[in-house]
Structure formats: structure tokens, C-alpha cells
Amino acid sequence: MPDNKRIKLLNKLEKVLGIKFSEIKLLSQALTHKSFKANESSVIFDNERLEFLGDAVLKLLVADYLFKRYPEQQEGELSKKQAMFVSDKMLAKKAGDLDLGSYMQLGINEERQDVSGLDSTLANAMEALFGAYYLDQGIEKCKKVVLGLLQKSLDQEEDLDYLKDYKTILQEINQEQGLGTPEYRVIEESGPSHNKTFTIEVTILLNGKQLTAIATGKTKKKAEQTVAREIYNKLQAET
């Protein structure tokens, strides 16, 4: 059972979410990173099993919503939408809005490296939270929480540009127009090993003209997405 200080912190999150757990230990477990168990205690359970369950619950609820919301769309379109709305980027964004990282239990090394701010850690915690609430309160109440957090995004009333996979979009455009495969090149790495910044350049050819863009990111994947967006915008302007 969490101690009183931990319970007070979790009660604060409950108020933010507008929910109440019957078993507060489930919420505590949902927000416990595996590193905490390994370093601080052998009796604390981490959130990986709850993440597994929450992932399934989330996908079901989003699929159900999209199926009813877009009766004219086929399986392929619905699948693309579902993938976007259950992605790590979406979940990490929502977790960031809740400041979920500040409620997490982490191992000492992870705290120093600010693992609580990583998209994957935040997304996993959100899924674990959904799994915990499903176990504690059932599918209908869990549905209210999930849709309450994702409603604006699902109805596309907010800017979802950050969810677009610009690398794939650019690749598809290039294939359609016979422009060749975009070439991504790391031109600089800076910072310590646990907090690197990557600078990546991408180049494509359009009617014999070379289009180039450069962007940075905390991971190669993020930098590549950002630079793909830049070159996509340049391509749109040219065509």
C-alpha cells in the first residue's frame, strides 16, 4: 500500500482527472516505472502488466468510437485513424498536459536522466492508467476517462500536425512523382550520451533541382520527422 505522502499526491491526480479509485494501489502501480522496483524495492510492482491491459482497452474504445463516428469510412481509413489516436505521440501529449511525469515513481538513475519526460515512458504510463482504471471501475467509467482526454483530438478540433508521419508522407509523394528515395544524413551529434541532440539533413531532386532541409531533434527519429516536414513544405511550395 502506498504511504500517506504518495496517497496525497495520487489523490491530487484523481481530482485533476475527475475520477476516484477504489484501490489507490492500482493507480500507484500504473505510475511506477520498472526501474523503481529494480532499484528501491523488491515488493513494488511496476506498470508493465497494466500497460499491456490498458493498450488493449484503449484500442477497443477508440475503435468503437471511430466505428460509430465515421460510418462511411472503410477499414483502411479507420485503421489509420486508430493508429494515430493511440500512438505514443498522442498519449505522450495528453500525459504532458496532465504533467503525469511528476506523479511517477522512478529509479534514481532514471530521475537523474529525466526519463519521466520521454514520450515512450509517458505513453506507457497513460496506457497503464487506463488499464488500472478499467480494473478498478469497469469499461464504462474507463470509457468516459479515455474519451474525455481524447475527445477533441478524435473530433479533430485541435491541431494534430504533430501526429503526422511526414517521413511516410514524403516517401509516398516521391514514389508517386518518381522523385527517388529521400536521403537522410546525420551531419552532427552534440551533448552527453544520455541527452544527445541530432542534426539531420535530407535532400531530394525535383526536376533536376536539389531541395535540401536541415533540422534537429533529441532523437534521430524526431529529427528525421522534423526535417521531413521541412522538405515536404518546400516541395509543396515548389509544386
As annotated, the active-site residues are 55, 127
Query: Is 67:132 a contact under the CB 8 Å cutoff?
Result: no
Residue listed under C-alpha cell 539533413: 201
Report DSSP letters for 135-195, one per residue. Answer: HHH-HHHHHHHHHHHHHHHHTT-S--GGG--HHHHHHHHHHHHT----EEEEEEEES-TTS
Query: Is 227:239 a contact under the CB 8 Å cutoff?
Result: no
Considering Cα of 222, then 129, then 139, then 13, what sign does the dihedral take?
Answer: negative
Candidates 47, 50, 49, 51; CA nearest to 33 is 47
Candidates 29, 51, 44, 61; CA nearest to 120 is 51
Task: Indicate the pairing of strand 209-217 with strand 197-206.
Answer: antiparallel
CA 82, 84, 85 angle in degrees (round to 5)? 65
The secondary element (H helix, E strand) that includes residue 221 is: helix 220-238
Taking the C-alpha atoms of residue 72 and residue 159, their distance in angstroms, rounded to an integer, is 23
